[in-house]
Structure 1
């Protein structure tokens, strides 16, 4: 990837970012001059282009420019639904992933990157499912993923989920394995053993990965850490991760209280909430982003605000898996920065952040006549500036201002408005409610054109789609059928395990009232 590109980008309206008063900053009939990938100047076209008449020009007064969107929580490309995995509660959904057909990591990454870029997402936090095997295999996987983002032109944070206990459920793996049929146990046990890597070795690997990739791509890559969840990480692992992140200036992104069962686990095991336990361990701080957070209470949110943590809200994921609805309005009242993540895939089973933003706006309207749900400008900030901060690009990406990276989405006002829209409609409202993939004309990352006329330009898009189709349409092998049968046997046992531990009826599917206020 080039370090930066010089050009001029014109727009009839520029959405620069949310101001201190909570309103969207706007510039009209203006242009952005990009120098070495950074925004050097914003102003009238005549002033911006004076002395720079030889620079490439893009856009027009028919365009609306907004900061590149950020997917703050992403895992992999080909979705479980595409591989025949049925929706279920999280605890019964994840085990089936182990039988999914392997897809080359470069190809898999490019597939979801196409969906992200073409819907305006220029930055992603890629949370790799986990490492197994040898250090050479870890390096190959990380390089394939980061190389794919570099190839297509996206800015990326990379982390991998760290686990050192309870890989199958909320009890020790030995306990779960002992109750499995022999054939199922023989299938899953080696997979668990391969993933049980000493945390110290993983932290050393993070350091080596950071040194290599940040030297090569200082503006486009961040190496972060991702403790998988409280029940998957020992206290010692969590403290080692926090120490490593702070020593290297990395962000931490931790799944937490995604489901009601996870919240119950923390209280049953530690006698306090998951958030309170992390605070007691010294793991909370401005570098910490908690993914999901569906089952936090008021005291938890007070702690997060006090410690300067962020939350990544994964609305589609919570709805599709029945995990819950995060108390976003209560978070915002406390000043907790909220980013947006699409997680595995959104409500339409793709990675369209413009659709996720619409869902978030609607989901948090609540029912009172004067309820304080986020307006369009606030949702845009979640999907841009707040997201960039959680990935590690805070102060560099997420706003359109001089000195920031020129990550810019151009939406065609005519496509967005068709057949017409009132001039009284605020630009942020028009972009949120009527904008989308259909309206995106061009996308730039560091001033480099990566999407033109709604299609990625840095790779052979159709070749990627053909390769993905060939992998998924290939007839199932005997080994693959055996893996699916073994996974179903495992899920049947886990289903019985969880049913035996249910302590009462689940909470009704509604807003998390624990955090109201």
Structure 2
């Protein structure tokens, strides 16, 4: 007679939190009251009712927020002397940014997000040293692990059109004395597609509950077609997600129309890139018929309204997204309106734009059904749509038995200035709640924020260290220190004003 031995891993002891109010699926289900949330092995177990709710008065539980598109800037660009400007000018200013350790920069950004209730984020990495991408990515992975939020690292693939959307030699024609500008003579490192794929494979070994890898072709105007087609095929083979900036500005729209005669959306569809695995960030200049195709293919769009305002890009195509049923999330893009990572305010801003643009708004008449539907759709974007851009369809973004245990607990004392009907609570949350009200963030059953502060790292210490490094860098100004060059920017403006970026010198299909 044989003896069976149980080799299954030991079951972790359950953890629990109690709250006065719980919104398990905001916008879809009514609030629950006097609830105990219990977690075992990183998953929710069934909810239960608490007998004495008095000690939990004012506490509300919600699914964790998802940041569908970001760049992990521990130091906002304004803090290093880079003022906001139209995107194509602003990008040329990033060269003056002092170099920072990838771990320090990312950990500061992730901790700030965590304290705002953000449990997951797509990190579109901007390399400070193109030859050190693998090393920088390892620093970001360490930061994700230390802070404890879920980070999807989009490995950048680029190399085309580094100065403008077009050839450097063409841009030089718009400068009276191009020899005076080192940008035209500097040899720039260009990572090959093969190197990018090798780095992706190396980083895949670091994947964990808090760090995953996506393909990140930076944008069609910066990536050659062979790379786009290869990444599309690799995504289909492996199931790995793809994250790409797309039609952020009118200049990018004009460039795409000139270079893709079949239409850029039809090209991406033809090569198989349009799928539920793809997230397109921005999309301000998507057309109505293109949105219909995205909806049919299950593509996710990240709306980044504050960034679009600050960089003069335009509006997210929100009414079209809603009309066609395109899945969408909400992203901060490292450019929130007040550089505070407050995704609740970002959601509120996007919702307000929608209410101004949706049918009936011009007459001052928006039906109650439309208002309720908008509320639900914005909660879905904040909790679930953005999360899918990060983790895929993992069943998260909801407080329910068996789902990943990612949730926030907020204090409602500040926002409850008057007693309101229970049915109005979701509206109140979206109208008044901000990052200052977040008390607890739990990700995968691990407490990442307690009493409003990160548990894995000290955000004040990280910010102080970064500030010291930045101030030292800014004080060491020499003749070789990059500065914002207005003459250079004027040349870029002349280039685009002449529509030089629309001169197609390569095959369109």
Secondary structure of the corresponding residue to residue 402 of structure 2:
coil
Name the counterpart of 1:431.
429
Q: How far 1:95 sits from its partner (Å)?
A: 1.0
Q: How far 1:321 sits from its partner (Å)?
A: 1.4
Q: How far 1:183 sits from its partner (Å)?
A: 4.4
Name the counterpart of 1:170.
165
Name the counterpart of 1:36.
41
- 8 Å contact from structure 1 (residues 130, 162) kept in 2: no
Q: Does 1:126 align with 2:123?
A: yes
Q: Deviations over 1:20-46 (max 9, x none)?
A: xx6245322211110012112212236
Q: 1:133 to 1:228 in 2, by over 3 A?
A: closer
Counterpart mapping for 1:100-119 below 5 A: 100-119=97-116
Q: How far 1:477 sits from its partner (Å)?
A: 2.4
Name the counterpart of 1:414.
413
Q: Deviations over 1:338-369 (max 9, x none)?
A: 10000122111221111111111111112241
Secondary structure of the corresponding residue to residue 384 of structure 2:
helix
Q: How far 1:473 sits from its partner (Å)?
A: 2.2
Q: Does 1:184 align with 2:184?
A: no
Name the counterpart of 2:87.
90
**How many residues are matched?**
479
Q: How far 1:179 sits from its partner (Å)?
A: 5.9
Distance, in Å, in 1 between the alignment partners of 2:494 and 2:424 is 53
Distance, in Å, in 2 between the alignment partners of 1:144 and 1:328 is 35
| More displaced 10-residue stretch of structure 1: 367-376 or 157-166 | 367-376
Distance, in Å, in 2 between the alignment partners of 1:188 and 1:116 is 40
Secondary structure of the corresponding residue to residue 10 of structure 1:
strand
Q: How far 1:94 sits from its partner (Å)?
A: 0.6
Name the counterpart of 1:514.
none
* Pairing partner for 2:241 from 246, 251, 257: 251
Secondary structure of the corresponding residue to residue 483 of structure 1:
coil
* Pairing partner for 1:71 from 67, 70, 79: 67
Q: How far 1:239 sits from its partner (Å)?
A: 0.8
Secondary structure of the corresponding residue to residue 312 of structure 1:
strand
Distance, in Å, in 1 between the alignment partners of 2:183 and 2:343 is 41
Q: TM-score, normalised by structure 2?
A: 0.88
Consecutive unaligned residues of structure 2, counting only runs of 5 or more, are 1-10, 503-509
Distance, in Å, in 2 between the alignment partners of 1:140 and 1:229 is 23
Name the counterpart of 1:451.
449
* Pairing partner for 2:464 from 443, 452, 466: 466
Name the counterpart of 1:11.
19
Distance, in Å, in 2 between the alignment partners of 1:4 and 1:104 is 36
- 8 Å contact from structure 2 (residues 112, 459) kept in 1: no
Q: How far 1:280 sits from its partner (Å)?
A: 2.5
Q: How far 1:447 sits from its partner (Å)?
A: 2.0
Name the counterpart of 1:327.
317
Distance, in Å, in 1 between the alignment partners of 2:457 and 2:89 is 36
Name the counterpart of 1:54.
none
Q: 1:341 to 1:6 in 2, by over 3 A?
A: same
Distance, in Å, in 2 between the alignment partners of 1:434 and 1:147 is 34
- 8 Å contact from structure 2 (residues 233, 272) kept in 1: no
Q: Does 1:207 align with 2:195?
A: no
Q: How far 1:421 sits from its partner (Å)?
A: 3.2
Secondary structure of the corresponding residue to residue 139 of structure 2:
helix
* Pairing partner for 1:440 from 438, 441, 447: 438
Q: 1:479 to 1:184 in 2, by over 3 A?
A: farther
Q: Deviations over 1:117-151 (max 9, x none)?
A: 111101111010248544xx222100101111110
| More displaced 10-residue stretch of structure 1: 83-92 or 3-12 | 3-12
Q: TM-score, normalised by structure 1?
A: 0.86
Q: How far 1:61 sits from its partner (Å)?
A: 4.5
Distance, in Å, in 2 between the alignment partners of 1:503 and 1:464 is 41
- 8 Å contact from structure 2 (residues 12, 40) kept in 1: yes
Distance, in Å, in 1 between the alignment partners of 2:354 and 2:127 is 32
Kindly report the root-mean-square deviation, in angstroms, between the aligned alpha carbons of the 2 structures: 2.6
Q: Deviations over 1:203-222 (max 9, x none)?
A: 12212211x122xx1x2222
Q: Deviations over 1:96-118 (max 9, x none)?
A: 10111112111111221222111
Counterpart mapping for 1:218-229 below 5 A: 219-229=209-219
- 8 Å contact from structure 2 (residues 303, 331) kept in 1: yes
Distance, in Å, in 1 between the alignment partners of 2:157 and 2:392 is 22
| More displaced 10-residue stretch of structure 1: 176-185 or 140-149 | 176-185
Name the counterpart of 1:298.
288
Distance, in Å, in 2 between the alignment partners of 1:184 and 1:477 is 22
Distance, in Å, in 1 between the alignment partners of 2:415 and 2:406 is 20
